């Protein structure tokens, strides 16, 4: 068991404890071996499950206190199959990204030193070709608002130390600080400078460094700060960068932002996880370089739950936490009602259940009825009614009015479709280019020449054909037919 150390910043760090993996490429690398061991599905579920404190006798205490107790339900977390996917995506991205960044690898150390010198001398070029073979990748989590994307990612990251302190490794002196993960919010104005400053502030907050003051006080340009951000990421052993609310990126700055994320992966070896609503889907469709970096299990599409076993399981899991006097058993009518009112959006399910209990206690009814739940839903979800109505309708046009609730249909792999679309587009362009080149190189006479008789009467090209026969110039014919004005008038005037 590793020891916990309190840093000057007040943050808790873990002293590195190394373990061997049955995977050869994960060994002889302190950044990987200091991470928590890999676990199976059952262990993942145990680690992620979070149930509120509950005692049967609490249902009999005064209503004043029970109104406060039911707020515990907002801490409820029931793992579903998609949470296991998120767990695996995050852990895989971190470990795989570290493979090429072994601090004891001579080639990697040489590359880091050369890059550092170039950054100091301001000769580093973001888009330069490099001889560093990265193992970093990007993962994408796209889901409807209210499904708990950020909550799920944070739940997984809680089981990965954010700061690891290294002192000795395999009998050698190795004094390093490792930061396996860091979360940033996508800047609303798509500003790369805002991204850099947010990054420096977060690192300073964690490690009590002075990056923000150092680079802001020097009034460095964005071009100068971007490689420094990558260098700092290398220095602190950053494993994965989580970019939340990616849909906030605006059209004008999307390409620049995405170009830099590709640089972070390619040049600095940092894996990236993007989190966003369906409104962000087009960003990845338009960025082939990001899409192609996503592995087969690296994209997760999280739609609202269907009215099936998963929804019923989620509702049953939370239903047992009742603080009303008369416990209400879950039946098919209540299940149908909850789905109708929430459309399988997990956050709304919890809200409806909490507020239904609140009204039942406050009104003195002390039980959950269909009428009471409908009343609560009508009051609590008034602002969301247009969006929920759109989801209920299943009408693509109505749903498209609200980008955050678009349901992304998955065939085999959405990102695979993106890649295929991008590749198909490239292939089509190649075919078009080939056609043009073929036509240019075609031998004259093999293709039937178009004659004047082939043109329609109102086709302007027929005038040019007639001009040859009549002996008039093309300009004169255009003038005679009224297609252009006589400029003589304007010269004389």
DSSP string for 10-24: S-EEEE------SSG
The residue extents of the domains of the chain are 4-34+80-302, 309-405, 411-447, 449-493
Q: Which residues pair with 274 in a beta bridge?
A: 140, 243
Find out whether 138 and 274 touch, Cβ atoms under 8 Å.
yes
Q: Between 3.20.20.60, 3.40.50.300, 3.40.640.10, 3.90.1150.10, what CATH number should domain 4-34+80-302 receive?
A: 3.40.50.300
**Given the DSSP bridges, would you call strands 181-185 and 172-178 parallel, antiparallel or unpaired?**
unpaired
47 vs 50: CA distance, rounded Å = 8
168 vs 175: CA distance, rounded Å = 7
Find out whether 282 and 313 touch, Cβ atoms under 8 Å.
no
Nearest to 460 by CA among 484, 440, 485: 484
Find out whether 360 and 324 touch, Cβ atoms under 8 Å.
yes
**Phi, psi (5° rounding) for residue 56?**
-55, -40
Q: pLDDT per position in the chain (493 positions), as tens?
A: 467 888 877 888 999 999 999 999 999 999 999 999 999 999 999 999 999 999 999 999 999 999 999 999 999 999 999 999 999 999 999 999 999 999 999 999 999 999 999 988 888 887 776 778 889 988 999 999 999 999 999 999 999 999 999 999 999 999 999 999 999 999 988 889 899 999 999 999 999 999 888 887 677 888 888 899 999 999 999 999 999 999 888 777 788 888 889 889 988 999 999 999 988 887 777 655 566 655 445 789 999 999 999 999 999 999 999 999 999 999 999 999 999 999 999 999 999 999 999 999 999 999 999 999 999 999 999 999 999 999 998 888 888 788 777 777 654 444 454 545 544 544 554 444 445 444 544 444 444 555 555 566 556 666 666 666 666 777 777 767 666 655 554 444 4
Distances (CA, A) of 464 to 47, 448, 459, 471, 476: 80, 19, 10, 11, 10
Residue with tokens 């309708």: 393
Find out whether 244 and 143 touch, Cβ atoms under 8 Å.
no
Q: What is the pTM of this model?
A: 0.81
The total number of residues shown for the chain amounts to 493
Residue 244 three-state SS: strand
- E strand map for 30-171: 138-143, 164-169
73 vs 492: CA distance, rounded Å = 88
């Amino acid at each position: 068991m590793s020891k916990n150390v309190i840093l000057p910043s007040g943050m808790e760090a873990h002293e590195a404890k190394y373990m061997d993996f049955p995977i050869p490429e994960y060994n002889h690398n302190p950044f990987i071996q200091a991470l928590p061991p890999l676990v199976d599905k059952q262990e993942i579920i145990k680690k992620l499950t979070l149930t509120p404190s509950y005692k049967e006798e609490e249902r009999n205490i005064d209503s004043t206190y029970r109104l406060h107790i039911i707020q515990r339900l907002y801490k409820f977390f029931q793992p579903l199959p998609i949470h296991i996917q998120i767990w695996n995506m995050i852990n895989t991205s971190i470990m795989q990204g570290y493979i090429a960044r072994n601090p004891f690898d001579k080639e990697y150390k040489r590359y880091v030193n050369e890059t550092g010198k170039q950054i100091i001398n301001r000769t580093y070029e973001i888009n330069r070709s490099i001889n560093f073979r990265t193992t970093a990748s990007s993962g994408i989590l796209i889901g409807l608002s209210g499904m708990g994307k950020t909550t799920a990612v944070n739940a997984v990251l809680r089981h990965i130390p954010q700061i690891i302190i290294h002192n000795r490794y395999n009998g050698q002196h190795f004094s390093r600080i490792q930061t396996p993960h860091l979360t940033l919010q996508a800047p609303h104005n798509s500003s790369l400078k805002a991204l850099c400053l947010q990054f420096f502030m977060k690192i300073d907050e964690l490690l009590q460094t002075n990056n923000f003051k150092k680079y802001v006080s020097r009034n460095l340009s964005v071009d100068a700060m971007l490689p420094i951000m990558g260098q700092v990421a290398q220095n602190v052993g950053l494993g994965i960068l989580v970019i939340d609310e990616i849909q906030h990126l605006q059209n004008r700055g999307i390409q620049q932002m995405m170009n830099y994320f590709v640089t972070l992966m390619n040049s600095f070896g940092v894996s990236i996880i993007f989190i966003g609503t369906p409104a962000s889907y087009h960003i990845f469709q338009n960025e082939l370089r990001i899409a192609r970096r996503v592995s087969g299990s690296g994209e997760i599409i999280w739609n609202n739950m269907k009215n099936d076993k998963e929804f019923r399981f989620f509702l049953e899991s939370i239903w047992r936490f009742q603080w009303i006097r008369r416990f209400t058993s879950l039946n098919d009518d209540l299940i149908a009602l909850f789905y109708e009112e929430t459309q399988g959006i997990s956050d709304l399910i919890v809200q409806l259940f909490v507020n239904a209990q609140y009204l039942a206690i406050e009104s003195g009814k002390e039980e959950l009825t269909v009428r009471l739940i409908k009343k609560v839903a009508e009051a609590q979800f008034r602002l969301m009614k247009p969006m929920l109505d759109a989801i209920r309708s299943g009408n693509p046009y109505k749903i498209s009015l609200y980008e955050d609730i678009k349901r992304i249909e998955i065939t085999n792999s959405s990102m695979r479709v993106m890649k295929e679309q991008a590749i198909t587009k490239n292939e089509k362009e190649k075919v078009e280019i080939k056609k043009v080149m073929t036509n240019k190189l075609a031998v004259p006479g093999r293709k039937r020449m178009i004659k004047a008789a082939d043109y329609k009467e109102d086709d302007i090209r027929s005038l040019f054909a007639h001009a040859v026969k009549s002996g008039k110039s093309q300009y004169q014919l255009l003038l005679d037919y009224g297609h252009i004005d006589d400029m003589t008038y304007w010269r004389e005037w």
